Amino acid sequence: MTNHPFYDPEARLRELGITLPTAPNPVANYINGVQAGNLLFLAGKGPRRPDGSEMTGKVGVDFSIEEGYEAARLAAINQLAVMKGMLGDLNRVKRVVKVLGMVNCLPDFIQQPAVINGFSDLMVAVFGERGVHARAAVGVISLPRAQAVEIELVVEIED
């Protein structure tokens, strides 16, 4: 699986028309990711647009589920930028292992999985079967800077 001739996440990004931004800088006292052995633990990232603005507000109030899906997709693009910055080459990704998706919403909102699918669907589109992962999608009453979503993940990498 590791040296499959058709595995090329960077080419997939081009096919999808996605240009990765510069990895967003941490906003507090932490770093974007830590490598422990062959695992990358990536800090939470939100839906920052290419112009630097963020999607802020509550899904189900300020945003529809579909707009929340797009927010989660933006978070995925930002996490891909972090991975690219840390690894130099996304072909080193062996497997997306675990995702934690947090949705800024009211207590009665129950569509968190549909929102976080925006992240998961892009991971699978970019990495194929290696992008299929374990996941939790939860609702929270607040996120830093009122972000619509925040998503962290663990990735297995090749040396």
Q: What is the pLDDT of residue 85?
A: 96
Q: Which residues pair with 39 in a beta bridge?
A: 36, 156
Q: List the beta strands (DSSP E) in the chain.
A: 33-36, 39-45, 93-104, 134-140, 149-157
Q: Would the pLDDT of 2 be above 70?
A: no
Q: Write down all domains in the chain, each with its CATH number in brackets.
A: 9-157 (3.30.1330.40)
Residues 6+ apart with CB under 8 A from 33: 40, 41, 42, 43, 82, 83, 86
Nearest residue to 23 (alpha-carbon basis) of 78, 105, 94: 78
Q: List the beta strands (DSSP E) in 46-128.
A: 93-104
At 93 the three-state DSSP class reads: strand
The pLDDT-based confidence of 1 (bands split at 50, 70, 90) is very low
Convert the pLDDT of each residue in 79-134 to its tens digit. Answer: 999 999 999 999 999 999 999 999 999 999 999 999 999 999 999 999 999 999 99
Q: Where do we find the tokens 């009211």?
A: 106
Helix axes 112-127, 65-87, angle to 10 degrees: 40
Q: What is the pLDDT of residue 27?
A: 84
Convert the pLDDT of each residue in 17-46 to its tens digit. Answer: 999 999 988 889 999 999 999 999 999 999
Q: What is the pLDDT of residue 5?
A: 67
- Token pair belonging to 121: 């669907």
Taking the C-alpha atoms of residue 41 and residue 49, their distance in angstroms, rounded to an integer, is 23
Convert the pLDDT of each residue in 54-87 to its tens digit. Answer: 999 999 999 999 999 999 999 999 999 999 999 9
Taking the C-alpha atoms of residue 123 and residue 68, their distance in angstroms, rounded to an integer, is 16
Q: What is the pLDDT of residue 82?
A: 97
